[in-house]
Structure 1
Amino acid sequence: MSAILLLVLGLGGMAAGYFVYSRFIAEKIYKLDPDFRTPAHEFEDGVDFVPTNRFVLWGHHFTSVAGAAPIVGPAIAVIWGWLPAFLWVVLGTIFFAGVHDSGAIWASVRNRAKSVGSLTGEVVGGRARSVFMIVIFLVLLMVNAVFGVVIAKLLINNPGAVVPVWGAIAVALVIGQLIYRRKIGLGLVSVVGVVALYALIYIGPSVPVTLPESTAGLSPNAMWILILFGYAAIASLLPVWVLLQPRDYINGLQLFVGLILLYGAVIIASPTVVAPMINFGVPEGTPSMLPLLFVTIACGAISGFHGLVASGTTSKQLDKETDARFVGYFGAVGEGALALAAIIAATAGFASLADWQEIYYKFGEGSLTAFVDGGAFILAAGTGMEMTVAATLLTVMAALFAGTTMDTGLRLQRYIFQEWGEIYNIGWMRKALPATLLSVASCLILAFGAGGADGSGGLLIWPLFGTTNQLLAGLTLLVITVMLVRRGRPTFYTLGPLVFLLVMTLAALLMQLRDFFQKENWFLLGLDLVVLVAAVLVTLECVAALRRAKGAANDESVS
């Protein structure tokens, strides 16, 4: 079948979700108020609390949540066939991710921009907050450590991407000054920024950059990881308007241009989807599609990490409460569109089924390689672009998104340490610099302590990312649902996704537990048990919190 059909059905469904379903959720369920004074105005400090144009904030939110995961997850999951991955991405975006993301922003804004971890203590209870903080820390540790490894490998595999990836930071710094210091209009700045970024992408292959085979005894992979975390530490301490906002905004525009090019190439070249609709001949060792499909594809359908960004940084920059619909729900649509592109590239970017099967010879293969190679094949066929330039464009797209996620993720991890400092009355931990150093140290301990001199230790716990991430999404939906119950509003639209996620997460954790035991992987087995216990506690807290909330709502209605 033609990939054009997937493109039209997928984007058409997501567009309908935004224009129809998100309006209903915003007006009837969350009841967003344009006159509500948001924390960005109430606590404006020019560093973290900054009222922000909704288009710029959308760029920050979207690119912060759309790291490499919405590419990696779908590009792995198509091993079960393109149809299950396609349906989960489209339906998940419409009914799960958009509701979750916009709801997390709303919940935080209504509670002085507190993080969803802090909110859990107030809305659900102290025990739930303790569980939540552990899950949040694990997710951030996985995201930051793994994305550092992913970006390093991308830069090593495609040296032509080094100049545009790092040049994008300089472009973002200039854009921040032009918008906030020079007060130049967003339209002109956007055009200049996109042109500069794509000029760097075109130039990049001509000036490839490689690190020496050994620097102070460290491999290129290890050196890139250290450089990336050094940059992320500095970026996380800067005021959001200096680098975070403009970098995320220009990356968001870059993604749309990249998606337009890729989708345009699909329409022109009309490639054939060579992967099977449902793969009944999966390679030996491939786990069951149910329930692992729903944790393999997290980002791109629904992701708990989004709730951390929504309540950690986005809620502090929301100009009007009604902007939560555009920033949150449309941000989820943007990530869904990226996941859809990954599915098309990983299923239609090959000349034949045999070529596809050569890449997908075992579970876990494909991933970024399938996206970059398959997408480059489609771009070259549809636009006439040179394969090297096309591959660089897609590599830069993946690396920039992973980089912006690291920027935001490290900032959020710093917030977690600062919150622990407040909870346990540790004065020095409340300060930004020590909390940032602790965040970087914990990621590097995982990367180098578990992975050795190569620094790839973060990949060891990646198999648990999907389940931990979906558990986090369930916790966020629990907070939102309890708030809705207390306000006497319908809860079906958040409670339904919450129950579905908890069931799939518990089933996936049990399946992984058996797999880790059989492989005698005691490190992952121990972590799996920690997450499994957390999932059970969350389920119990869900029932207890909802009962309390309904009881309180009934008492108020009687009185």
Structure 2
Amino acid sequence: MLWFLLCTGLLVAGYFTYGKVIEKIFGPKPERQTPAHSLEDGVDFVPMSNKKVYLIQLLNIAGVGPIFGPILGALYGPVAMLWIVIGCIFAGAVHDYFSGMMSVRANGASVPTIVGEQLGNVAKHFMNGFAVLLLLLVGVVFVLSPAGLLSSLSDTSVGIWIAVIFAYYIIATIVPVDKIIGRLYPFFGALLIFMSVGLVIGLAVSDHTFYSQGLDFSNLHPTDLPLWPLLFITIACGAVSGFHATQSPLMARCMQNEKSGRFIFYGAMIGEGVIALIWCTLGLSFYESTDALNATLAAGGPSAVVHEVSTSLLGTVGGILAILGVIVLPITSGDTAFRSARLIIADFLKMPQQSMPKRLLIAIPMFIIGYLITNAEFGVIWRYFGWANQTTAMIMLWAAAAYLAREGKFHWICTVPAAFMTAVTFTYLANASIGFNLPMTTSTVFGLAMATLATVALLVKIKGPQVTPVVKLPD
């Protein structure tokens, strides 16, 4: 229990210390008018209170990632909690802050535009396609996982729940942001907090021992899967996640003051890190060993772990409430994933979204493609999602590093995590069966070489003649 409390305390301390460092380096300007006011349209640009925007941001980014990922990461042992703390403070929250604040400075622009402003048109066009692909994968993952849980709680088939969730997604994607998301998500945020705290209390008063195998920081994975680079792909949400870069612009269009950025963007990521710590702790403590956890995962996947842990610790009623909280998480991220995809496509096509027919023109084909993807095997979708997610984070961090370098500010706060994530993603791509299936040593050398090359390219760009970006971010 002490280790869990220490990790949680470090996350909170990170918000008040390193978060302030990040904020000072960026330099928010409270006197600047934000896009929520300057571009208010009643659909996507809608001013909201800080509390509401924070809770929506937390729900947008906290899908099943900070639950399923840490559960799978718990197979590696307590070392997974170290990655959550370090990754969240120094990479994930930094990534989320800059993806949000750079969007605010760029009039609420989506991530491809932000990347293009800093890394050029080639990167922009690549991110247009890559971000939409990632968002479709996220949307599909966040349909299948809640549909499975809902099916386990009822006599209704998974297929029917998929159809119901997709129907909700269509509505939530095309209506103004304050009609459903702005009204219901703060309540769902409270449910999420209740669920998380309730499970920790339930574990504390139960017969289960915290970290039954002790604080062993060696690799405890029952099938000997390597820590590097798999742990950093497995635990994405809760540590660092590129999906968040697609979500932050949604709230950048609703935030009323730049000084709120640390609370909304950096703070929401810290909140997600706490959720990830809770579920990693549950995975480590509820089961006698990582072998026992792996057996449950093999039988029913992370959904089975959620169901078993929740009902055992909180009883039938409390367990159902906790499971509903876990169902709400992916659904509230899935709809905003499709909403983000709609906005990215609209930006690319230069198609204003004030009118309903134009929103439907983009949304309907997008949902048809998403439905077709649901027919693929969940495990395959999840692996591609994991790699695409971390690759998006890598690119966004490089864009933030380039922005800081161009502004003459301390870029290393973004360059170091960008280089690390470059090594992770390229090593994984080279080694994984969904990639090039190369030996681990060769893959690691390749990953480190790509990270070094990217870092050198940034440093050369800093020292070389400055190229005017496509759309200069205002001061």
Query: TM-score normalized by structure 2?
Result: 0.89
Are residues 260 and 505 of structure 1, via their aligned partners in 2, closer, same or farther at CA, if it must alter by over 3 Å? same
| Distance in 1, Cα, partners of 2:6 & 2:194 | 20
Q: RMSD over aligned Cα, in angstroms?
A: 2.9
Q: How does 1:457-468 map to 2 (within 5 A)?
A: 457=377, 459-468=379-388
Task: Encode CA deviations 1:96-128: one digit per residue, 9 max, x unaligned.
Answer: 111111111111111111111112222211111
Aligned to 1:422: 350
| Distance in 2, Cα, partners of 1:472 & 1:536 | 19
| Distance in 1, Cα, partners of 2:123 & 2:103 | 17
| Distance in 2, Cα, partners of 1:441 & 1:554 | 41
- 2:425 alignment partner AA: T
Aligned to 2:337: 409
Are residues 6 and 110 of structure 1, via their aligned partners in 2, closer, same or farther at CA, if it must alter by over 3 Å? same
Are residues 282 and 391 of structure 1, via their aligned partners in 2, closer, same or farther at CA, if it must alter by over 3 Å? same
Task: Encode CA deviations 1:418-453: one digit per residue, 9 max, x unaligned.
Answer: 233239x9xx999211111121011012123xx4xx
Please state how far the C-alpha of 1:270 moved relative to its aligned partner: 7.5
| Distance in 1, Cα, partners of 2:380 & 2:459 | 36
- 1:14 alignment partner AA: L
Alignment counterpart, residue 43 of structure 2, candidates 29, 38, 47: 47
Aligned to 1:447: 374
Q: How does 1:302-381 map to 2 (within 5 A)?
A: 302-311=240-249, 313-350=250-287, 352-353=288-289, 357-361=291-295, 367-377=302-312, 379-380=313-314
Please state how far the C-alpha of 1:509 moved relative to its aligned partner: 1.1
| Distance in 2, Cα, partners of 1:430 & 1:130 | 26
Runs of 5+ unmatched residues, structure 2: 439-445, 469-475
Identity between Structure 1 and Structure 2 (%): 29
| Distance in 2, Cα, partners of 1:551 & 1:292 | 36
Q: How does 1:389-408 map to 2 (within 5 A)?
A: 389-408=317-336
Please state how far the C-alpha of 1:131 moved relative to its aligned partner: 2.0
Alpha-carbon contact 2:310-2:322 (below 8 Å) kept:
yes
Alpha-carbon contact 2:50-2:255 (below 8 Å) kept:
yes
Aligned to 1:186: none
| Distance in 2, Cα, partners of 1:241 & 1:478 | 32
Task: Encode CA deviations 1:17-66: one digit per residue, 9 max, x unaligned.
Answer: 01111112112x11111111111110011111011101100011110100
| Distance in 1, Cα, partners of 2:364 & 2:133 | 17
1:486 matches 2:399: no
Q: How does 1:486-525 map to 2 (within 5 A)?
A: 486-513=406-433
Task: Encode CA deviations 1:75-111: one digit per residue, 9 max, x unaligned.
Answer: 0111111x22100111111111111111111111111
Alpha-carbon contact 2:430-2:436 (below 8 Å) kept:
no
Are residues 36 and 476 of structure 1, via their aligned partners in 2, closer, same or farther at CA, if it must alter by over 3 Å? same
Q: How does 1:10-409 map to 2 (within 5 A)?
A: 10-27=7-24, 29-81=25-77, 83-159=78-154, 210-211=155-156, 220-269=157-206, 271-272=208-209, 273-275=211-213, 277-278=216-217, 282-284=221-223, 286-311=224-249, 313-350=250-287, 352-353=288-289, 357-361=291-295, 367-377=302-312, 379-380=313-314, 387-409=315-337
Tell which deviates more after alignment, 496-505 or 30-39: 30-39
Task: Encode CA deviations 1:177-224: one digit per residue, 9 max, x unaligned.
Answer: xxxxxxxxxxxxxxxxxxxxxxxxxxxxxxxxx33xxxxxxxx21221
Count of aligned residue pairs for this structure pair: 456
Are residues 309 and 295 of structure 1, via their aligned partners in 2, closer, same or farther at CA, if it must alter by over 3 Å? same
Task: Encode CA deviations 1:467-498: one digit per residue, 9 max, x unaligned.
Answer: 21111001111121111111110011111100
- Matched residue of 2:350: which SS? helix
Are residues 362 and 262 of structure 1, via their aligned partners in 2, closer, same or farther at CA, if it must alter by over 3 Å? closer
Query: TM-score normalized by structure 1?
Result: 0.76
Please state how far the C-alpha of 1:553 moved relative to its aligned partner: 5.9
Alpha-carbon contact 1:304-1:473 (below 8 Å) kept:
yes
